[in-house]
Amino acid sequence: MRILMVTLLYSPDSGPSAPLFGMLCESLALRGHQVTVIAAVPHYPSGRVQNGFRQWGVRHSYERGVNVVRVPVPSIRRSSLVQRLVQFACFQVAAAFGGLTQSYDVLVVTNPAVETWLPFAVLGTLRRKPTVFSVHDVYPDVGINLGIFRHKAIINAVAGLERFCLSRSRYVRVLSHSFIEPVASLGISQEKISLIYDWVDTGLIKPLPKDNRFAQEHQLVGQFVVLYAGNIGLSQGLEHVLTAAELLKDQTAITFVFVGDGAGRELLISQAAKRNLGNVRFFPFQPRPRLPQVLATADVSLITLKTGVGTASLPSKSFSILASGRPILASVDEGSDTWKLVQRSEAGICVPPEDPGALATAIEQLRNNASLCKRFGEKGREYALQNHSPQTAAAKFEHLLLAALGGH
């Protein structure tokens, strides 16, 4: 097959979906397919285009068997919704025009449509190419829950773009079971909806010694490290983690470590300083090759989502933590996909969202039970190997794309 994929973020960008689609495209190429991806130049999570990519113009490269087309976008301030919409619009126009020169049999486009509607319409609908729409969050629901979309006109516009892509897709890929019902409620038949969970590079991310270079450089050896690594944004409710840290501040052997960037980072740093939390430390996003060391530094890794957000979200970091062989402490809605994943994999503990007391109690429980932590980590690693490798995901996508072409 000749596969064209359109996604805003692609390696070496720092967003969680960027390495995922890098692995998927490379794995599909290894299966004998001709794969081309159209993405923006690296700019996430700061919104600022990375050095080396700021010269205006389309960039073509051949990377690990994949044809990569990177289109220009302006640098912005991500805290401004207007600026983000401008950046999305620039990407859409550039991606749509960039795709017109490509030859392909089947198209894969990632949501939200507010980022990708125009290339979907031009490269899929107008060119009459079978299209798979990959849904990573349910829109506009997630934006409403986070308070990003407040005006009815914006909500209706976002919903309209999303429905356009959903209704005109040959198939809709969702990454968690909880997405099926809300997608179906938009008038999409369940026969069109295909569940393919996210994946993780189990070769790169694997159990490593806790006493590693990252831990040594930052004086974390000998500490019980509670790690949050990933986007520090609006949906995680990380202020409640600070409150848990405040409850445990007298236990000097426990250190809370935040590694990442995002719209909420500066506010979180300010809140920690105001509370005089000496047991909380912040580090910027680390280069991807260093991620295994970062995850290995943890004694327990956090997944946190605000109340209501977890019912329509399964963070990709979940699979990285599983692969790292460290226990998960998930502060999410009971019954959500993340909650079910932790229970199914037997890889950690779940507590209610926005409950610092429950979070602090669970941290103490894990700190006082090394054998339990070890068992959780081993179970998680085993589960990741069996269910979330790139090869497993590529095989499922291949089957779906062949079905879109009428091959099955």
- The model's pTM is 0.78
d(C-alpha 68, C-alpha 59), whole Å = 8
The ranges assigned to domains in the chain are: 2-199+389-404, 213-387
Q: Where are the alpha helices (DSSP H) in 169-276?
A: 180-184, 213-217, 239-247, 265-274
Task: Answer positive or negative: Cα dihedral of 70, 19, 301, 135.
Answer: positive
Give me the CATH code for the 213-387 domain, please: 3.40.50.2000
Q: What is the pLDDT of residues 308-319, one digit of tens each?
A: 876 667 888 899
Q: Which of 112-126, 152-166, 303-317, 376-390 has the lowest mean pLDDT?
A: 303-317
Q: What is the pLDDT of residues 64-121, one digit of tens each?
A: 999 999 999 999 987 787 898 899 999 999 999 999 999 999 999 998 998 999 999 9
Q: Is-same-fold flag (2-199+389-404; 213-387)?
A: yes
The residues pairing with 67 across neighbouring beta strands, listed in sequence order, are 36, 62
Q: What is the pLDDT of residues 288-302, one digit of tens each?
A: 899 999 999 999 999
Residue 131 DSSP one-character state: E
The domain covering 2-199+389-404 belongs, at the CATH homologous superfamily level, to Glycogen Phosphorylase B; (3.40.50.2000)
